[in-house]
Amino acid sequence: MSDFNALIIGSGPAGLFTAMWLERLGIDKIAIFDRNQYSAGGLLNDGKLNFDYRVGIDLDELQISKEEAQTLMQEVKQVFIKFPLCQQVTFIENNERIDAWRKIAGEHNVEFIAPEQWHYGTDNGKKFVDYLRSSLVNTTFFLGTEVISIERENGRFCFVCRKDRKRKEYFGKTVLASPGRSGAYWFRDTSRETGVNNNFGPIDVGIRVELNKKSYDSITDVVYDPKFIFHTKRHGDRVRTFCTNPGGRVRIENYDSFKLINGDALFDRKTENTNFALINTVSLTQPFSDTTEFGRMIARQFFLLGGGRPIVQRIGDFREGKRSSQSTFNSKTRHFDRCRATYNAVPGDITLGLPARIVDNLWESLKTLDKIVPGILHPSTLLYAPEIKFFDTHFPTDRHLETNIEGIFVAGDGTGKSRGIVGAAVSGIIAATGITGKYF
Ligand SMILES: Cc1cc2nc3c(=O)[nH]c(=O)nc-3n(C[C@H](O)[C@H](O)[C@H](O)COP(=O)(O)OP(=O)(O)OC[C@H]3O[C@@H](n4cnc5c(N)ncnc54)[C@H](O)[C@@H]3O)c2cc1C
């Protein structure tokens, strides 16, 4: 097989948008590798799309201005909104109700962000992926093919892969690594062997809150996925709400040695609950800076405590310093029946697995949020753990997202360049433009 012009790791939004933009810029012979059989990574999940430069990307990390970010997001939006099942869910133009919420949040020293938002739902994920893939004509997909290592041979890159237990090699002129959060740990180790520089960035550790939908409708009817950012008084730390799913379900993410909590919503079928993540940003310096390992240790601890399943606790129990138990989990006398869990986690005590400082920060933020949206601390409200966002391995790059190794570019969540679908797509476009400008 002749050499490819670009070898892409990961078929998620970062990888797909890189391929799409390479094609638009006239590049052919593109290969996308994904270890999963169908996969388009996180495009299959929920599909809540935030078009706002303050959400899902870090301007400094991508070395772009607000204006450039907004322009790139508009490009991404044009692709998404052509999909007929993608629906606008938050309208920000002249929205006085958003201004009112911002004012209330401000009175409690909480920052409030209301981005323009669209949604297509997990139930439309595959249709959306098929739609995107059908637009790629010069890209070959190698699905169910895991990239094991990246080597250099006679001035070109070689992907050593595994498919059906057989080893295969593919050659290319340039590499784009977008392995997502699930492949971040593998890519970090591989990069070290390949000589690609990387270090640790902050990690987000917290919980997923699930509550009766009616308790949060006042805000989600105006902003589908409202972003509240807290700076805690006690520790001066940053906590934020993230990934709100009105009428959604709590979901699980499977990793090699643990499970993480997440959430999504379907387009057609809604539950009686709303869920959102509440996460605390943690940076580590001396003597231990490996935030990935820190997060993995917390996740493994929960895995152990929950007998292989995540833990869930009612606010009513949490407030009394008690673990939740199966026998009282849906107790009517304690009003726990107001919120039926959408995921079967193990009733227990989330404070056993989270560091005290994080528990303090989360609780202080929840109490503040209850002042902004009264009623969220109803005894039936559920706290699931662990919810951890591994966006922490950081790859220093130039402004085209090229690493210190010429020809190796990075994009997406697994390399610290984005935090969400739209951000991953934006970083893919930047990398594609960089690859084309320098190598073709
Ligand atoms: C339940 C859930 C709900 C979510 N909801 C939303 C949402 O509503 N809105 C939003 O913006 N974000 C959401 N996210 C986050 C979103 O999925 C990610 O931000 C986004 O997918 C990141 O894109 P990516 O291309 O960087 O990585 P991914 O989409 O994770 O894609 C990476 C791909 O690389 C592949 N891969 C990894 N290592 C290798 C290897 N060695 N060889 C071959 N292939 C490899 C993986 O199989 C994967 O398919 C959600 C995530 C989850 C888990």
Regarding whether 177 and 56 lie in a shared domain, the answer is: yes
pLDDT for 154 equals 86
Determine the average pLDDT of the residues in 306-322.
97
- Give pLDDT tens digits for 51-87: 999 999 999 999 999 999 999 999 999 999 999 999 9
CB 393 within 8 A of CB 165: no
Q: Which of 358, 374, 389 is the last residue in one of the domains?
A: 389
Written as one string, the DSSP assignment of 155-205 is TEEEEEEEETTEEEEEEEEEEEE--TTTTHHHHHHHHHHHT---EE--EEE
Query: Does 166 fall in a domain?
Result: yes
Query: Does 264 fall in a domain?
Result: yes
- Give pLDDT tens digits for 265-283: 999 999 999 999 999 999 9
Regarding whether 420 and 378 lie in a shared domain, the answer is: no
pLDDT for 318 equals 98
CA atoms of 183 and 334, how far apart (whole Å): 43
pTM of this structure: 0.94
Q: Is the pLDDT of residue 2 over 80?
A: no
Regarding whether 134 and 260 lie in a shared domain, the answer is: no
Q: Which amino acid is at 324?
A: S
When the pLDDT of each residue in the chain is averaged and rounded to a whole number, the result is: 96
Query: Does 428 fall in a domain?
Result: yes
Q: What percentage of residues in the chain have a pLDDT greater than 90?
A: 92
Q: Is the pLDDT of residue 393 over 90?
A: no
Lowest mean per-residue pLDDT among 197-201, 247-251, 268-272, 311-315? 197-201
CATH number of residue 11's parent domain: 3.50.50.60
Atom in ligand 1 nearest the alpha carbon of residue 428: 25
Query: Does 111 fall in a domain?
Result: no
- Give pLDDT tens digits for 337-387: 999 999 999 999 999 999 999 999 999 999 999 999 999 999 999 999 999
Regarding whether 209 and 270 lie in a shared domain, the answer is: yes
Cα–ligand 1 centroid distance for 41 (angstroms): 4
Q: Whose CA is nearest to atom 26 of ligand 1?
A: 412
Determine the average pLDDT of the residues in 303-320.
97
Q: Is the pLDDT of residue 1 over 80?
A: no
Regarding whether 248 and 345 lie in a shared domain, the answer is: yes
pLDDT for 256 equals 84
Phi and psi for 259 in degrees, rounded to 5? -130, 145
Q: Whose CA is nearest to atom 17 of ligand 1?
A: 42
- Residues in CB range of 396: below 8 A, 6 or more apart: 197, 198, 199, 403, 404
Query: Does 93 fall in a domain?
Result: no
Q: Which of 402, 394, 396 is nearest to 432 (CA)?
A: 402
Query: Does 101 fall in a domain?
Result: no
From 11, 253, 389, give the residue whose CB has the most ligand 1 atoms within 8 Å, as the site to mutate. Answer: 11
Regarding whether 313 and 222 lie in a shared domain, the answer is: yes
Atom in ligand 1 nearest the alpha carbon of residue 10: 34
pLDDT for 40 equals 81
Regarding whether 286 and 207 lie in a shared domain, the answer is: yes
Determine the average pLDDT of the residues in 303-309.
96
Regarding whether 69 and 218 lie in a shared domain, the answer is: no
Q: Whose CA is nearest to atom 4 of ligand 1?
A: 45
Query: Does 257 fall in a domain?
Result: yes
Query: Does 39 fall in a domain?
Result: yes
Phi and psi for 346 in degrees, rounded to 5? -90, 120
Q: Which of 369, 389, 409 is the last residue in one of the domains?
A: 389
pLDDT band at residue 327 under the 50/70/90 scheme: very high
- For residue 141, what are the domain limits? 4-85+120-198+395-439
Regarding whether 347 and 298 lie in a shared domain, the answer is: yes
pLDDT for 385 equals 98
Is 423 close to ligand 1, i.e. is its CB under 6 Å away?
Answer: no
Written as one string, the DSSP assignment of 279-338 is EEEE---SS---HHHHHHHHHHHHHHHTTTS-EEEEHHHHHTT----GGGTT-TTTTGGG
- Residue identified by tokens 């987000």 is 204
Peptide bond connecting 287 to the previous residue in cis, omega within 30 degrees of 0: yes
In our burial notation (b when 16+ CB lie closer than 10 A, e otherwise), range 154-179 reads: eebbbbebeeeeeeeebbbbbbbbbb
Between strands 146-153 and 156-163, the pairing is: antiparallel
Q: Which of 359, 374, 389 is the last residue in one of the domains?
A: 389
Total number of domains in the chain:
2
Q: Which of 434, 417, 435 is nearest to 426 (CA)?
A: 417
Regarding whether 257 and 179 lie in a shared domain, the answer is: no
pLDDT band at residue 253 under the 50/70/90 scheme: very high
Regarding whether 303 and 160 lie in a shared domain, the answer is: no
Q: Residue 93 burial (CB < 10 Å; 0-12/13-18/19+)?
A: exposed
Regarding whether 69 and 17 lie in a shared domain, the answer is: yes
Phi and psi for 212 in degrees, rounded to 5? -55, 130
